[in-house]
Structure 1
Amino acid sequence: MEYPRSLAPKLRELARFFPAVVISGARQSGKTFLVRKTFPGHRYVSLDLPSVAEQAERNPAEFLRDHPAPLIVDEVQYAPGLFRHLKTEIDRARHAMGRYILTGSQQFVLMKGVSDSLAGRCAVLELENLSRIEIGRGKPRSDSRKALLSLMARGQFPELWRVPSLPRRDFYASYVATYLERDVRQILNVASLRDFERFIRVLAARAGSMLNKSDVARAVGVSVKAVGDWLSVLQTSGQIILLEPWFTSFGKRVVKAPKVYFRDSGLLCFLLNLDDETLDASPHLGPVWETLVFAEMRKLNQSVPNPVNFWYYRDQRAREIDFILERGGRLTLVECKWREHPDLDDARHLLSVREDLGRSGSSYRPVSSWVIGTPDATYSLDDNVTAGAIRDLPRVVS
């Protein structure tokens, strides 16, 4: 079964205005399907094949003669030397748009090539895994607790939904093994892949929490520097996202550490050895729920005309707000609670921080506050806070 991607119209539009478009994203996020479906008239070549990647890296001029534009180059990070020659080819016909569509699963190599050679000549998009809307092929999906537990545990990698009979555990075991062998070895010279795998699992147990590198280093048995390097690997390859704390002239920036989130709830559940039967009783259910909500908000944010910036809030009084969405000084405050009937107690930090913001004279203005749980219907907790469900996230982001 095919799942049309909501990013396709934006990709098509950018190709009308830029000579090249770069699409980054984690392995198996659906980049190849997206670009081949969107640009059926383009030639296609993948640098996943070592011999092809070697030609592109060692003899890029010959490679581009063998594969003329319009061209899709898949996994372009395997030939970083190609970027400079792409610049030359683009400049020969500077106003011919959409000639090169490039994909890659290692963001650092991609963005270095873009900034060094293709600045001003390409647009950059990031593709995440399927959204709930894409999985439902544009139709509403059930947001019952049972359906959400199943979604969180299975995750949103396209292959798991294209082949419904594919065992999720087998998929993720293969995914992690391939990731360790290919991406980790290429990006960073990790002395022990076993240590790195243990590091990923230790990090999974801290998902949704403030990142303490020293604590992680002690748990894994490696240096703090190694933890920092390995976090960069996970970020570069699209596996995790670090959410920074929000701060302004309002109060003091008490918390400096980011919170760590895995991009896909299914991978997180696999690393925590959870499935849809055990997740509901797990102490990790709250962070997994936050992971899903955050992922859905990021995907929705890609399609809005004026995207928001994501932050979280925590102060010296231990008041914490899971997500702050900021757009032009206007704030939306979001708390995630795995509850069927969120109440005012679940919103106490939202209300308290809103009140302090109003008194502070800050130019930042809260315009809405939400507690995202699993209620059957959306309802107001008071004049300033709404209890909603995952179906309400388009309203939250827009």
Structure 2
Amino acid sequence: MFPRHLIDPIRTALRERPVVLLLGARQVGKSTLAQGLVAQGLLDRYLTLDDLALLAAALEDPQGFLAGLRGRVVLDEVQRAPGLLLPLKALVDRDRRPGRFLLTGSANLLALPKASEFLVGRVALFTLWPLSQGEMEGRKEGFLAALFGEELPPIQGEGRLPLDRLLRGGYPEAVGLSPEGRGRWFRDYLATLLAREVRELSQIERLPELARLYTLLAGRPMALLNWAELGRSLGLPATTLKRYFALLETLFLVRTLPPWEANLGKRLVKSPKVHPTDTGLALHTLGLDAGRLETDRSLLGGVLEAFVAMEITKQAGYAPFPVGLFHYRSHTGEEVDLLLEGPGGRVVGLEVKARGSVRGEDFRGLKGLAQALGPRFHRGVVLYLGRESVPFGPNLHALPLEALWRL
């Protein structure tokens, strides 16, 4: 079993808040984490609404179901009975003792109608993503703390493309399988997820079109979201396309990276970027193995950038301070792959290069960002596939990709 770094913030929240909500895709380890908290004595009972008898009771009489619960309770897969949320709100408003409920959901409850208004101000919210590289290696990453610290410690890289990391993804059950076994797991996972979860969440019968949309997005990692282009590619009207896209987000299969819109006195591109949440699942869906990925350099750059974005997203969930993740692109062509906003509004820019060497021109976007931000600009970093940590001027550095999980 892999250690999950999110468990410490969840323990703290259970001591402070009446309800903790843990969201995440199917098979990322939510149930295992929740059962571990019961075993440690922080919660008393584990109940899952995948149990048909419990689900029937929760759907038939939500208020009576909750009234009959005693002690500190885990309610797993609570999205299957959204009618529980309104009586839960009333129950918690009468008694706000901390640690009363841990709710988990494999669909984003905040995207369900009226759910967010029942939960606002009452819950501590966490998202469990597939395993981070640090979790797979049994170490707690310090990358974000290092980025916003005073000095970047040197690190030695391996000097190679981490194809194995990109292809295995982070689903706990899949990472230890052979490539052939993992391929079968990914195929079955996507098919059953779409068949089961989508029909519970929305009246969609044309599942092949939803799968086609995911495949199209997987093949354009970190592209700007362009509804017209996607609609033309799939032959779908805008209303249907947006509904399908929202479902993929709700199921944690894709994620949008918002643009950074600080007042810089210039026009910025305001479209979000879109990327898959797990490169292993995305690459399997595209039918790509190590050989084909390594030769397709145009796709490789986007996949590597999506990989970095998700590693930072995972680490931000258990970082010692809040970190916002964005992209930056101006209408005049200045661009930074990833922009991190941390303590005190300080900004770190990240560029991701699928090459073993770094050139001065790779810092052009970071230098433009530094000039625009002035003292708010803390540091600019290019992550690359080389071995050495190299300074490239004041507050500008090239770091091996392994800094993500080994700093």
What TM-score does the superposition give when structure 2 sets the normalisation length? Answer: 0.88
Question: Residue 72 of structure 1: CA displacement?
Answer: 0.9
Per-residue CA deviation, residues 52-77 of structure 1 (Å, 9 max, x unaligned), is: 22211211244335543321111000
- What secondary structure sits across from 2:304 in the alignment? helix
CA distance in 2, matches of 1:133, 1:370: 20
Per-residue CA deviation, residues 306-363 of structure 1 (Å, 9 max, x unaligned), is: 21211111122222110111133311011000111222122122123323444xxxxx
| Structure 2 counterpart of 1:104, one-letter code | G
**Structure 1 unaligned blocks of 5 or more:** 359-363
Query: 1:284 corresponds to which residue?
Result: 299
CA distance in 1, matches of 2:113, 2:323: 25
| Structure-2 change in CA distance of 1:66 and 1:214 (3 Å) | same
Query: 1:137 corresponds to which residue?
Result: 138
Conservation of the 8 A alpha-carbon contact between 1:268 and 1:288:
no
CA distance in 2, matches of 1:175, 1:145: 33
> Superposition pairs for residues 298-309 of structure 1, below 5 Å?
298-309=313-324
| Structure-2 change in CA distance of 1:374 and 1:306 (3 Å) | same
Question: Residue 394 of structure 1: CA displacement?
Answer: 6.8
Answering whether residue 154 of structure 2 is matched by residue 154 of structure 1, we say: no
Per-residue CA deviation, residues 182-201 of structure 1 (Å, 9 max, x unaligned), is: 22222222241111111111
Question: Residue 164 of structure 1: CA displacement?
Answer: 5.9
Q: Which of 377, 393, 396 is equivalent to 2:404?
A: 393
CA distance in 1, matches of 2:179, 2:38: 30
CA distance in 1, matches of 2:278, 2:302: 12
Query: 1:294 corresponds to which residue?
Result: 309
Question: Residue 368 of structure 1: CA displacement?
Answer: 0.2
Answering whether residue 369 of structure 2 is matched by residue 348 of structure 1, we say: no
Query: 2:394 corresponds to which residue?
Result: 383
Conservation of the 8 A alpha-carbon contact between 1:301 and 1:308:
yes
| Structure-2 change in CA distance of 1:120 and 1:159 (3 Å) | same
Conservation of the 8 A alpha-carbon contact between 2:157 and 2:402:
yes
| Structure 2 counterpart of 1:3, one-letter code | F
Query: 1:368 corresponds to which residue?
Result: 379
Conservation of the 8 A alpha-carbon contact between 1:309 and 1:326:
yes
| Structure-2 change in CA distance of 1:39 and 1:107 (3 Å) | same
CA distance in 1, matches of 2:120, 2:394: 47
| Structure 1 counterpart of 2:7, one-letter code | A
After superposing the two structures, state which structure 1 stretch, 107-116 or 44-53, moved more.
107-116
Query: 2:281 corresponds to which residue?
Result: 267
Query: 2:261 corresponds to which residue?
Result: 247
Query: 1:361 corresponds to which residue?
Result: none
> Superposition pairs for residues 61-100 of structure 1, below 5 Å?
61-64=63-66, 67-95=69-97, 97-100=98-101
- What secondary structure sits across from 1:81 in the alignment? helix
CA distance in 1, matches of 2:270, 2:119: 34
Name the structure, 1 or 2, with higher relative contact order (CA <8 Å, separation 6+): 2
- What secondary structure sits across from 2:271 in the alignment? coil
Per-residue CA deviation, residues 119-142 of structure 1 (Å, 9 max, x unaligned), is: 3332111111111110001289x9
% identical aligned pairs: 33
CA distance in 2, matches of 1:4, 1:76: 24
Query: 2:36 corresponds to which residue?
Result: 37
**Structure 2 unaligned blocks of 5 or more:** 142-155
Query: 2:62 corresponds to which residue?
Result: 60
Query: 1:7 corresponds to which residue?
Result: 6
Answering whether residue 356 of structure 2 is matched by residue 334 of structure 1, we say: no
Conservation of the 8 A alpha-carbon contact between 2:161 and 2:354:
no
Per-residue CA deviation, residues 133-166 of structure 1 (Å, 9 max, x unaligned), is: 10001289x9646572101011011111355687
| Structure 2 counterpart of 1:377, one-letter code | E
- What secondary structure sits across from 1:249 in the alignment? coil
CA distance in 2, matches of 1:303, 1:90: 26
What TM-score does the superposition give when structure 1 sets the normalisation length? Answer: 0.90
Query: 2:188 corresponds to which residue?
Result: 174
CA distance in 2, matches of 1:69, 1:117: 22
CA distance in 2, matches of 1:313, 1:165: 36
Answering whether residue 339 of structure 2 is matched by residue 324 of structure 1, we say: yes
- What secondary structure sits across from 2:103 in the alignment? strand
CA distance in 2, matches of 1:110, 1:190: 17
RMSD: 2.5
Answering whether residue 330 of structure 2 is matched by residue 315 of structure 1, we say: yes
CA distance in 2, matches of 1:163, 1:66: 42
CA distance in 1, matches of 2:269, 2:313: 23
Question: Residue 256 of structure 1: CA displacement?
Answer: 2.0
Conservation of the 8 A alpha-carbon contact between 2:224 and 2:273:
yes
Question: Residue 34 of structure 1: CA displacement?
Answer: 0.9
| Structure 2 counterpart of 1:346, one-letter code | D
Conservation of the 8 A alpha-carbon contact between 1:322 and 1:334:
yes
CA distance in 2, matches of 1:168, 1:146: 23
After superposing the two structures, state which structure 1 stretch, 160-169 or 317-326, moved more.
160-169
Per-residue CA deviation, residues 176-219 of structure 1 (Å, 9 max, x unaligned), is: 10121122222222241111111111111221111111111111
CA distance in 1, matches of 2:133, 2:184: 22
| Structure-2 change in CA distance of 1:69 and 1:275 (3 Å) | farther
Query: 1:187 corresponds to which residue?
Result: 201
After superposing the two structures, state which structure 1 stretch, 367-376 or 61-70, moved more.
61-70
